[in-house]
Amino acid sequence: MIALVAIVAVLLVIATAVQILKIAELRATESGKEIYEISAKQSKAQAFLLMVFLVAYFGFFAWQVWKWGGLMLPVSASEHGVGVDELMNITLWFIIPVFIITHIFLFWFSYKYSFSETRKALFFSHSNKLEMFWTIIPSVALTVLILVGLSNWNKIMTPISSETEHVLLEVCGQQFMWGARYAGKDGKLGRASVEYIEGVNALGIDVSDENSKDDKIVKGEFHLPVGVPVQFVFRSQDVLHSAYMPHFRAQMNCVPGLKTQFNFTPTITTAEMKEKTQNENFEYILLCNKICGAAHYNMQMNIVVESKEDYEKWLAEQKEFGAE
Amino acid sequence: MTTISLDNIKYKAEIRQKTAKPLLWIGLISIVMFFAGLTSALIVSKSNSIWIKLEVPSMFFISTILILFSSLTYQLSMSFTKNNQLKFATITTILTFVLGISFTVTQFYAWQQLYQSGIFWAGEQSNPSGSYFYALTALHLLHLFAGLISLLVVVTKSLLKKYSPTNVLGIQLSLTYWHFLTALWVYLFFFLKFIA
Amino acid sequence: MSAHQHPHEEQDFLFKYVFSQDHKMISKQFLITGFIMGFIGLSMSTLFRLQLGFPGESFWIIDFLLGSWAENGVMLPDKYLALVTMHGTIMVFFLLTAGLSGTFSNLLIPLQIGARDMASGFLNMLSYWFFFVSSVIMLISLGVEGGAASAGWTIYPPLSALPQAIPGSGLGMTLWLVAMAIFIASSLLGSLNYIVTILNLRTKGMTMTRLPLTIWSFLITAIVGVISFPVLLAAALLLVFDRSFGTSFYLSDIYIGGQVLEHSGGSPILFEHLFWFLGHPEVYIVLLPALGITSEIVSTMSRKPIFGYRAMITSMLAIGFLSAIVWGHHMFVTGMNPFLGAVFTFTTLLIAIPSAVKVFNYITTLWKGNIKFSPAMLFSIGLVSTFISGGLTGLILGDSALDINVHDTYFVVGHFHIVMGLSGIFGMIAGVYHWFPKIFGRMLNNNLGNAHFWITIVSSYGIFFPMHFLGLAGVPRRYYTNSEFPLFENLLDINTLITWFAILAFAGQLIFFFNFVYSALRGPKAPQNPWKGNSLEWTTGVKHIHGNWPGEIPTVHRWPYDYSKLNENGDYVTGEDFIPQIVPLGEGELDGGGH
């Protein structure tokens, strides 16, 4: 019934619109105008609206920054993340002025040179000087951005050398949860493969491998010591997942059949971050950022960053794999 | 209006004369990209640890000789037509067709050889390297079927004496495509032999 | 078609309207099919915006339209993904590739270069009918068991390969792959025709440097298509093999649904490489025609030559070339070799240079012009604005170090919808407003057109600009709802605002569809050259005839941008502010923008 009423209503609206349009066109034709002709007055009106739009657009931008600026990710909680944020700021300081200036020119020229019967447009078809100018300027700016960007990229992507003290942690994705495994005392992760998945051995760890005996599997959340580099190894059991830890500016895909890696050094503990964000409930989080199925939107694991002592205490309480 | 209708027939024939060959060539470029995509996929897959290096089955050598020979006979048929020796042209075209069919047969034998030596297309015991072998050759064969159909058309038309030294566009197109198939096969053969 | 047997007025309906080989009719068919698909894609996005803006709330319309995909007026999580996937596929391929290129390449290539028709009318007809069949299969896939494909428009395996992973990867994905294979065939047939027609069938005097920029953009688009679409076909075929025959090109070490799959030795990353080798050029397949169309409109409506004609061509060539070597920037976080990442960052950011040149040239074309604001012109200005707004954020995403944190977040969604979605759509709509008189012989209503523009630009920035903020707050894309995370609690307001703008945008398009249908049937009759343009299509009659020009095809004597050209006395050379391409050069007059 509702559908029927809706359809009738839509038909009525269309019929009315047709009639109105017809009347409007008849009136225009009677007054002797070609209705598709665009008069100087009409052009001016649109040009004026373009200027209004320009102001509104900038206003909307500023309003969003003012209103939502505080909701953005807090200060980076990892060492390399500070560099990423700096690079982001440099890029933004380049992008935003370009955005504003080009828009001003675009809309100002549209407004200023809107149609007039008396003026003639300038026949100006090319200028090598100008074109050189605006090829070279972006090239120089981009060279700077590329160089700064790449030096950051290289820093982020350099693996930790095995001699430095670090935590080795494996994160494994499956529909729709995360599993985490610490390398244990020997600092080595035991072999793992989907073939070994059975019953409680949900991560598919090879029981016969000596290295796996002291591995520690944790659920629900994993802890990291502040100031110590963490070497992550990522795996997936079924489809692609992506381990995304926004507060640490870290992300890496988890690929079935392939091990990927990433490392960072946490710099701010959860407790400190609670203070900084003035949010009692603040938690670091690991979430999935690659479409992986129906419950993709709800695949998360908490991360706790704490002092090295607390971390070691917590880790000692976790069971070793071999003990199960 | 009648003048336009008359023009109509004329311009269509003219357009065809002018554009048939470039259309074919650009079509060939897209086929090249298709196989380029597949062969570069193979190169990427090769870096995987469980990749197995395979021997090219001996039957593929015979395929290669057959298809090279068929290109030669087809080219001969073209020059016979141009010299107005239409009977020889028909014979060589039919010979080409027969060679094309024999090529197809050797492909099937080659797959049998592969299968018997334990290289499977799919399933638990298969390896991507084997699957690529089958996929690449089968997709080439699929394109060859289109070539065989064009050959059939040319054979029929030459039996019906539709061609003359000045009217060879149809043969020309089919010939170009056939040479392309030969070149593609030779590329795939060497690719499978030395890269895969 | 045998026109000599009956005069073409008497041609049967079937050959005139259905199996037509005439480029103008095929163009109309592409336009209308494309718009119907576009409308479906748009409606889908409005529906899933309801879920995002008001998560978990019940809507009568969702129950009504989605049926078994919803429960109590709330769409199901996996069907949300199906909607997102189909929205992306339809918009990118069916509206902005086939709808845009198919319509305008078909309409304008023969008309603007002075050709009787396309190189092969038959292949051209096939191209449309493949597109039509592909569209129908894609729509049928919405109704099959398990639902339509739900693995995202990028259909990354293993998700797209395994029905155990998501129901949409069953029959729905099979149909998706079939539809796309046919679509690729359609696109290739079209591209072949466009390239050969442009290279071989230009009229006398139409040198490559006298071609309108529209034609240049269609040419480069078609070349990019011929090079990249076959690779997508290869990628899709290997996926079909994996899905249907049990090969292991993309699959390895998978445990799902309680069992280990027998696939081994493949890699999903391989699919990503093959997919994005098309996927990135595809962005420019969408964008370049839009840029070509608006270049033409901006010049005509400003009554000025396009500034830097040769630089515009060079930029498009550079963009076309670079587009083929940047695909890796979609894969910075797949664990690719860091050095490779650096190379892709470099090539990606290089694209900014030709893009910047294009923007500055647009702006300089406006400078000291005499601009008439038709709806087409407004949309063209809108395109320049979206091209800037969306292009600049590309500098962030293209930089591998920055991409780590914004990859696959709403920042990306905002970026590509503005730079590719909006620019593509604005270019297409601008083209429809500008060439409607050529397509249907009638005029669109300007006032409705203006209203359509203002609603569209305001609402689309209202939708996509805030998405950048969501992305910077760390919200991943393709999430059914954000309410599962305390982290995103405060962001619901943003999502609600976006949804309101989405509803407004949808309403705005209804105005356009109304205007379109009304004007095509009842609109005022168009004059031959309503915008006083120079290019050849305006020398043909309003009524469509086969072969386009009765008698001889006109000869071309000059480039298409002689607007407001003055002689020594400061008067217009021909007394009017435009000189069509068919007017011979005067004594001592230079061609191609020489004064």
Cα four-point dihedral sign C104, C110, C112, C116: negative
The answer to whether position B153 is within a domain reads: yes
Do A85 and A147 have their domain in common?
A: yes
The answer to whether position B137 is within a domain reads: yes
pLDDT of B1 strictly over 50:
no
The answer to whether position A196 is within a domain reads: yes
Q: Which domain holds residue B156?
A: 59-195
Which segments of C108-183 are extended strands (E)? none
Nearest to C342 among A17, A153, A292 (CB): A153
Nearest to B71 by CA among B162, B195, B193, B177: B177
Contact C474 A244 (CB under 8 A): yes
Contact B4 C546 (CB under 8 A): yes
Contact A57 C461 (CB under 8 A): yes
Q: Output the pLDDT for position B9.
A: 61
Average pLDDT over residues A253-259: 92
> Per-residue pLDDT tens for B78-107?
999 999 999 999 999 999 999 999 999 999
What confidence tier does A32 reach under pLDDT thresholds 50, 70, 90?
low
Do A193 and A227 have their domain in common?
A: yes
Higher per-residue pLDDT: A147 or C31? C31
Residue % of chain C over a pLDDT of 90: 80
- Find, in chain B, the residue whose alpha carbon is nearest to that of C264: B127
Using a CB-CB cut-off of 8 Å, the residues of chain A touching C485 are: 285, 287, 300
Residue % of chain A over a pLDDT of 70: 98
Specify the pairing of strand A300-306 against strand A221-225.
parallel
Q: Output the pLDDT for position B54.
A: 82
Round to whole Å and give the CA distance between B113 and B105. 13
Q: Output the pLDDT for position B4.
A: 42
The number of domains in chain B is 1
Do A148 and A257 have their domain in common?
A: no
Nearest to C189 by CA among C106, C124, C115: C124
Nearest to A252 among C335, C402, C564 (CB): C335
> Per-residue pLDDT tens for C461-482?
999 999 999 999 999 999 999 8
Cα four-point dihedral sign A9, A11, A12, A18: positive
Nearest to B15 among C119, C192, C265 (CB): C119
Using a CB-CB cut-off of 8 Å, the residues of chain C touching B2 are: 7
Rg of chain A over all Cα atoms, to the nearest angstrom: 30
Q: Output the pLDDT for position C9.
A: 47
The answer to whether position A22 is within a domain reads: no
Q: Could you tell me if B13 lies within 8 Å of chain C, comparing CB atoms?
A: no
Round to whole Å and give the CA distance between B119 and B131. 8
Q: Could you tell me if C580 lies within 8 Å of chain B, comparing CB atoms?
A: no
Do A319 and A174 have their domain in common?
A: yes
Average pLDDT over residues A248-272: 93
pLDDT of C502 strictly over 60:
yes
Window A:146-165, CB contacts with C under 8 Å: 146, 149-150, 152-154, 156-158
Do A57 and A140 have their domain in common?
A: yes
The answer to whether position A7 is within a domain reads: no
The answer to whether position B22 is within a domain reads: no
Q: Please, what is the angle between helix C423-440 and helix C103-113, to 10°?
A: 60
Q: Could you tell me if B160 lies within 8 Å of chain C, comparing CB atoms?
A: no
Contact C547 B4 (CB under 8 A): yes
Contact C231 B122 (CB under 8 A): no
Please classify residue A20 by burial: count the beta carbons closer than 10 Å to its beta carbon, then call 0-12 exposed, 13-18 middle and 19+ buried.
exposed
Residue % of chain C over a pLDDT of 70: 97
Using a CB-CB cut-off of 8 Å, the residues of chain B touching C269 are: 44
Task: Output the CA torsion C337→C342→C347→C350 (10° steps).
Answer: 160
Higher per-residue pLDDT: A10 or C300? C300
pLDDT of C234 strictly over 90:
yes
| DSSP string for residues in chain B | -HHHHHHHHHHHHHHHHHHHHHHHHHHHHHHHHHHHHHHHHHHHHHTSTT----PPPTHHHHHHHHHHHHHHHHHHHHHHHHTT-HHHHHHHHHHHHHHHHHHHHHHHHHHHHHHHTT--SSSTT--HHHHHHHHHHHHHHHHHHHHHHHHHHHHHHHHTT--BTTB-HHHHHHHHHHHHHHHHHHHHHHIIIII-
pLDDT of C11 strictly over 70:
no
Structure tokens at A119: 């003026």
Average pLDDT over residues C390-412: 94
The answer to whether position B123 is within a domain reads: yes
Q: What CATH number corresponds to the domain at position B172?
A: 1.20.120.80
C111, C84 contact by CB (below 8 A): no
Average pLDDT over residues C329-347: 91
Among A36-50, B29-43, C3-17, C448-462, which is the least confidently predicted range?
C3-17
Average pLDDT over residues A193-219: 86
CB within 8 Å of C212: residues ≥ 6 apart: C108, C112, C292, C296, C535, C560
The answer to whether position B104 is within a domain reads: yes
Cα four-point dihedral sign A87, A89, A95, A101: negative
Do A171 and A319 have their domain in common?
A: yes
Q: Which residue has the tokens 């129950």?
A: C63
Round to whole Å and give the CA distance between C394 and C416. 8
Average pLDDT over residues C521-545: 92
What confidence tier does B3 reach under pLDDT thresholds 50, 70, 90?
very low
What confidence tier does C327 reach under pLDDT thresholds 50, 70, 90?
very high
The answer to whether position A210 is within a domain reads: yes
Window C:367-386, CB contacts with A under 8 Å: 367-374, 378, 381, 384-385
Amino acid at B41: A
Contact C246 B122 (CB under 8 A): yes
Q: Which long-range contacts (CB under 8 A, 24 or more apart) does B59-64 make?
A: B59/B106, B59/B107, B59/B109, B59/B110, B59/B113, B60/B106, B60/B110, B60/B137, B60/B189, B60/B192, B62/B106, B63/B103, B63/B106, B63/B107, B63/B110, B63/B185, B63/B189, B64/B185, B64/B186, B64/B189
The answer to whether position A306 is within a domain reads: yes
Distances (CA, A) of C201 to A20, B20, B176, C208, C550: 46, 12, 22, 12, 17
Higher per-residue pLDDT: A158 or C11? A158
The answer to whether position B177 is within a domain reads: yes
Domains and CATH numbers, chain C: 22-539 (1.20.210.10)
pLDDT of C196 strictly over 90:
yes
Window A:257-276, CB contacts with C under 8 Å: 257-258, 260-261
The answer to whether position B182 is within a domain reads: yes
CB within 8 Å of C587: residues ≥ 6 apart: none
> Per-residue pLDDT tens for A272-308?
999 999 988 899 999 999 999 999 999 999 999 999 9
Round to whole Å and give the CA distance between C369 and C576. 15
Q: Could you tell me if B27 lies within 8 Å of chain C, comparing CB atoms?
A: yes
C-alpha C581 chain-centroid distance: 29
Residue C390 half-sphere exposure, CB side, CA atoms within 13 Å?
A: 25
CB within 8 Å of C280: residues ≥ 6 apart: C323, C324, C326, C327, C329, C330
Distances (CA, A) of C27 to A68, B105, C12, C136, C523: 45, 44, 19, 18, 20
Q: Output the pLDDT for position B129.
A: 87
The Cα angle at residue C332 between residues C328 and C335, in degrees rounded to 5: 110
Q: Output the pLDDT for position A162.
A: 81
Nearest to C157 by CA among C6, C270, C65: C270
Round to whole Å and give the CA distance between B33 and C149. 27
Residues in chain B: 196
Round to whole Å and give the CA distance between C426 and B185. 46
Q: Could you tell me if C241 lies within 8 Å of chain B, comparing CB atoms?
A: yes
Instruction: State the alpha helices, DSSP H only, in C473-536.
Output: 492-522
pLDDT of A250 strictly over 80:
yes
Chain A with chain C: Cβ pairs closer than 8 A: 370
Average pLDDT, chain B: 89
Do A308 and A203 have their domain in common?
A: yes
Q: Output the pLDDT for position C7.
A: 45
Window C:236-255, CB contacts with A under 8 Å: 251-255
pLDDT of A267 strictly over 60:
yes
Q: Could you tell me if B120 lies within 8 Å of chain C, comparing CB atoms?
A: no
ipTM for the assembly: 0.93
Do A154 and A173 have their domain in common?
A: no
Do A173 and A297 have their domain in common?
A: yes
Q: Which residue has the tokens 């949300």?
A: C80
Do A221 and A307 have their domain in common?
A: yes
The answer to whether position A18 is within a domain reads: no
CB count within 10 Å of CB A272 equals 15
The answer to whether position A31 is within a domain reads: no
Nearest to C128 by CA among C29, C241, C252: C29
Q: Which residue has the tokens 């050889």?
A: B113
What confidence tier does C372 reach under pLDDT thresholds 50, 70, 90?
very high
Average pLDDT over residues A22-42: 79
Among A248-257, A296-305, B40-49, C44-53, which is the least confidently predicted range?
B40-49
Higher per-residue pLDDT: B121 or C132? C132
Contact C371 A250 (CB under 8 A): no
Round to whole Å and give the CA distance between C128 and A43. 38
Q: Cis before residue C158, ω within 30 degrees of 0?
A: yes
The answer to whether position B45 is within a domain reads: no
Residue % of chain B over a pLDDT of 70: 94
Round to whole Å and give the CA distance between C285 and C275. 15
The number of domains in chain A is 2
Do A229 and A284 have their domain in common?
A: yes
Instruction: Tell which phi-psi region holds residue A184, choosing left (phi > 0), alpha (psi between -120 and 50) or beta.
Output: left
Do A269 and A318 have their domain in common?
A: yes
Distances (CA, A) of A197 to A188, A190, A207, C257, C430: 20, 14, 10, 12, 58
Round to whole Å and give the CA distance between C472 and C411. 7
A72, C469 contact by CB (below 8 A): yes
CB within 8 Å of C586: residues ≥ 6 apart: C573
Amino acid at C45: S
Structure tokens at A27: 């009136």
Q: Output the pLDDT for position B8.
A: 55
Q: Which domain holds residue A292?
A: 167-323
CB within 8 Å of B179: residues ≥ 6 apart: B71, B74, B75
Window C:149-208, CB contacts with B under 8 Å: 188, 191-193, 195-197, 199-201
Round to whole Å and give the CA distance between A253 and A235. 8
The answer to whether position A2 is within a domain reads: no
